[in-house]
Structure 1
Amino acid sequence: MKHIYFIIAVCFTATLFAQAPAGYYNSATGTGYTLKTQLKAIIDNNDDGLSTEFIAQDLGYGALYDTYENSDVDLYYENNGTLLDMYSERVIQNPDNTSTNLPDAYEYTYGVNQDDGTMGTAEGQRYNREHTIPQSSFSSASPMRNDAHFVIPTDKYVNAQRGNLPYGFVDTTLQFDEYSNGTRRGENTNSGVAAGYSGDVFEPIDEFKGDIARMYFFFVTRYESQITGFNYVMFDGSANQAIDQPFLDILYNWHVNDPVSQRELDRNNAIFNQQNNRNPFIDNPQFVLEIWQNSLSVEEFQITNAVKMYPNPASGNFVNIDSNEDLVVEIYNILGKKVKTQKITSTHKKLSISELAKGVYLVKLNSSIGSITKKLIKQ
């Protein structure tokens, strides 16, 4: 269970970097999109001119099944050596950040339940290879098609039900489909930060939301030089930000609220042993904010010199709001739900954020002369 391994993860903090070869990230010295380009050079073909030791290998599509036998084995939940499928593994995250494991509706054994090419008509019949970034977006080209860092083993039926849908939050007030572990398909929660996309989305359970997010950050980094030619609703058409704004906000929230697990660390190592490259956002989760911070928010904003809000991003329990007007401040989470209201006056200028989880929020500042809405990042 992800949070059961928290103590272990803390104990291994000192070895988190050591799991990558010594010097692997030495050339990752920049910030913002410069850092992303430096990471691309490291994890793609090591074209930074510093080393030819760690050139990523394309092992072909068939080799994914061989990789999975080391990278995607259940040694964390039932701990019985079966296939670890994020779309069927039943795990509940509790309010106190622990996890409860439930019996799976079905399990797969490597070498027995592999896709045989027949149509899947229900869950639990066979497994195949799920491209978290649909391969239609890059015309099934290699090496993308064969990259285990974002291609995962899943139930074939649920994989087909997802199709090419983007990931997001499903509006549970409307009709939706739910699969055996709580994974959902349905209409997007079309409010708040996610209002930029209307249509169906696919939502994994909380236990694996961060895993999916870090796969996306890996993909847009490794394939930075090609991504402007990839056509997918979650992408913005640029090489720099790469991920369209509503989805960037969602993935960042998933990343910070579902931190790296021991299972992800082990998977990263197993794929490195096969492909000779790593997911840097598993090794160094802080890279996400270092690269995309300016796209998620700004350090400070001003409206005609009348309002200041700082620090932003905020790592403490308060942000300061300086204004010539009395304000009513409303904070909304990524689902568009109001989570806090507070008055700000000339004598009380601190906005408390102690009760907020890490992530991206919308802060609406209402005054007698109008209102503005900006993003806030809590680290």
Structure 2
Amino acid sequence: MKTPLLFFISICFMQLSFSQVVINELDCDTPGVDNMEFLELLSDTPNFPLDGYVVVFFNGSTSGMNSSYFTVDLDGYVTDINGLLLIGSNSVSPVPQVLISENVFQNGADAVAIYQANATDFPEETVATIDNLVDVLIYGTADADDVDMINIFNQDPRFADIQQINEGPGNNTNSIQRFVDMDDNVTYTATDPTPRQLNDGSGVVLNGISMSVAQTQYNEDEAFDITFTSETPVTETLNFNILLDNFGFDSSDFTGNTAITIPMNQSTASTTITLIDDSDDEGDEVTRIRFESLPVAYLALNNNLQIRIVDNDFTVANFGTPLNPTFGNVTSAQPAGYYNTLDGLADDDLRQALQNIIADPSVVRAQTYADVLDILMDADQNPLNSNQVWLLYTEQGRAKLDLQTGSDNNGKWNREHTYPRSRGGFNDIEADEIADGVDVFWTTKADSLRHGNSDAHALRAADGPQNSTRGSQHYGQYTGPVATQGSFYGDVARSVLYMEIRYNGLQVVNGFPENGPGELGDLATLLDWHRNDPPDDFEMNRNNIVYTWQFNRNPFIDQPDLVEYIWGTNVGDTWDQELNVTEFDVNTVKVYPNPSNGRISIQGLNTDAVVNVLSVEGRQIKAIKGSANNVIDFNLASGMYVLHIISEEKTVVKKLLVR
């Protein structure tokens, strides 16, 4: 057996009366992602109702100022046959009676206290108090003593000698456990965790039941077994039920027995669940297998077992992914005349007129940061599979269900700010955590910089670890993962250029500035990305979808040449929408992507063209017919080539690098 790390610290030397409820055990820090943290309470009588009690966690850091950051209202909960109530995440075994998210508890120096009060009495940032105090534990993980916190609680005579208890260094495997000796002296020990067990080993020993399945993912029409195993053979026939429903997944999606029996003197039972193959495009679903009614002599060692059900009825869009783009299949949903006020303007007048459109406070809406998740599941949907989102930097699809909800981002997707929060100076408020739907919104204007935090034109679905890798780097510093094709280059360029026009206080500049919030680089890189990766159907589709929520559009997707008139080669020229849409100009013909893998598209053509491919020595290799924005596959070896593009009796010469 592992040798305990002992910290037998007596918090007082006088005899203490036993409170009705005390903090019996705390595990504030566990290795890895802190998913095994728990708090255990102990009542002086078994099956004790905890109505009227609340648990409050206080932040003892300098910025926390000994104020509350998390509460658990205990109304409706009852301690078990041993007087124990466990609070923790579903990853804790045995599974707690009170379930909370993973990685909630702070390591310290902090405090957790029980009060006879309501959770509403402790809104966030309530300073610790001894009013209505029942019990308290001040703890840390090799932290200096929080003297201010100690001084608050030792004003209560019962805790006049309170000390800070050390669980061990960071990522330790201990928990802090409470012990009372024969003379009622209370001490604490940091040792191996014992959730749902009395710390001294006494009490009723409960028989643990676990459930298991062979896989965590099955397709519609497949079957799987759920096996139930008790720690020791049952002394009498054990009957219990299980539930599988979870959101849209219900009894219409499966068949199988959900009433389970483990015969006397045996320790296992199983049931077979068959998934129904329907014809509905309902998306991937998750069943949550859980015990419905275990007798009091049994413990659920695990619960809420999640199994993904892959829907085989997903749809495929009529347009391509950014890796294999299509053009012209998705048309802009801009209202008639949306950009008409830009005609005849140049320079600052053009900028201001454009901002007047996309930041019009009488029209444009701001949604919450939580709403953005719903927007992205639609706007960034993978064209090849409606059950997935398309990830920005890693250029791949990922199940919509794999949204990051905890601290672990591996294999998850989350929201990426193309204009980083720290550089934009964005912030959020408590209301941002509420997804209240498309019809509930804030009025917003050009000075509403805070709303940049949830502007879906500049938020994209991204791989969690890759989002962390990008961090707040400027584009040009960050160019994407190794071996990706850069299909996101134009997308991010247009999104951050949109942000400069949409919000006052933002500017896209040359270089990599470190002058505080507001500036993002590198402009030259982003202009190059915009030119070589023009808007495709995927980007136009997301522009249309975001418009239905925010009532504004990214103009650089609808009218990509506007970029040149504001930052590029046409600065100072007068914008004329009609001419820029229809007039053929050899200076606006673009080949992309460049560098390429041999597959390119040509932007700026009004009619079909002949594309002559020449070596750098001038030898013609092939001639291919091309048209505006259609993908051309040259099937060329790696190297540098010269393209002679002939259309409307005009010739454009472009260099092409094939990797």
The two structures have a TM-score, normalised by structure 2, of 0.33
1:163 paired with 2:471, answer yes
1:221 equivalent to 2:501? Answer: yes
Residue among 515, 528, 539 paired with 1:264? 539
**Once the two structures are aligned, what percentage of the paired residues are identical?**
28
Give, in angstroms, the shift of residue 357 of structure 1: 6.1
Going from structure 1 to structure 2, the CA distance change for 1:280 and 1:117 (only over 3 Å counts) comes to same
Letter in 2 for 1:40: Q
SS in structure 2 of the partner of residue 108 of structure 1:
strand
Q: CA deviation at 1:36?
A: 1.7
In structure 1, the partner of 2:398 is 108
Given candidates 341, 344, 348, the residue that maps to 1:33 is 348
The verdict on how the C-alpha distance between 1:138 and 1:256 changes in structure 2, with shifts beyond 3 A counting, is closer
Give me the whole-angstrom Cα distance separating, in 1, the residues matched to 2:515 and 2:656: 27
Unaligned runs of at least 5 residues, structure 1: 47-51, 91-106, 172-176, 184-204, 299-312, 318-338, 341-351, 359-379
Asked if structure 2 preserves the Cα contact closer than 8 Å seen for 1:32 and 1:293, the reply is no
CA distance in 2, matches of 1:79, 1:227: 36
1 CA distance for matches of 2:545 and 2:325? 18
Q: Is the 8 A contact 2:346 2:571 kept in 1?
A: no
Alpha-carbon distance change, 258 to 169 in structure 1, aligned in 2, over 3 angstroms: farther
What are the Cα deviations for residues 303-345 of structure 1, in whole angstroms up to 9, with x where unaligned? xxxxxxxxxx94589xxxxxxxxxxxxxxxxxxxxx99xxxxx
Q: Distance in 2 between matches of 1:222 and 1:316?
A: 28
1:2-55 Cα shifts (integer Å, max 9, x gaps): 48554x42x76xx54xx2011211212212232122111110125xxxxx4xx2
For the Cα contact (< 8 Å) 1:68–1:153, is it kept in 2?
A: yes
- 1:84 corresponds, among 371, 379, 390, to 390
Contact 1:228–1:237, Cα closer than 8 Å, also in 2: no
Equivalences for residues 146-295 of structure 1 within 5 A? 146-168=454-476, 178=481, 182-183=483-484, 205-223=485-503, 225-227=504-506, 233=512, 247-293=522-568
Shift in Å, 1:228: 6.3
Counterpart selection for 1:136 from 422, 427, 435: 422
State how far apart, in whole Å, the 2-side matches of 1:209 and 1:109 are: 23
Against the structure 1 CA distance between its residues 116 and 243, is the aligned structure 2 distance closer, same or farther, given a 3 Å change threshold?
closer
**Partner secondary structure for residue 527 of structure 2:** helix
Using the alignment, how far apart are the partners of 1:137 and 1:257 within structure 2? Answer: 26
Structure that is richer in helix per residue: 1
Q: CA RMSD in A?
A: 3.8
SS at match of 2:398: coil
The answer to whether 1:61 aligns with 2:340 is no
Aligned partner of 1:98 in structure 2 is none
- Structure-2 residue corresponding to 1:355: 654
Determine which structure has the larger strand proportion and give its number.
Answer: 2
Larger RCO (alpha carbons 8 Å, 6+ apart):
1
1:22 maps to: 336
Maintained 8 Å contact 1:265/1:282:
yes
Give the partner amino acid of 1:162: R
SS at match of 1:68: helix
Bigger-Rg structure (1/2): 2
- In 1, are the aligned partners of 2:564 and 2:570 still within 8 Å (CA)? no
Shift in alpha-carbon separation, 1:64–1:206, aligned structure 2, 3 A: same
Deviation at 1:271, TM superposition (A): 0.2
**So what's the TM-score if we normalise by structure 1?**
0.56
Residues 138 and 4 of structure 1: CA distance in aligned 2, closer, same or farther (over 3 Å): closer
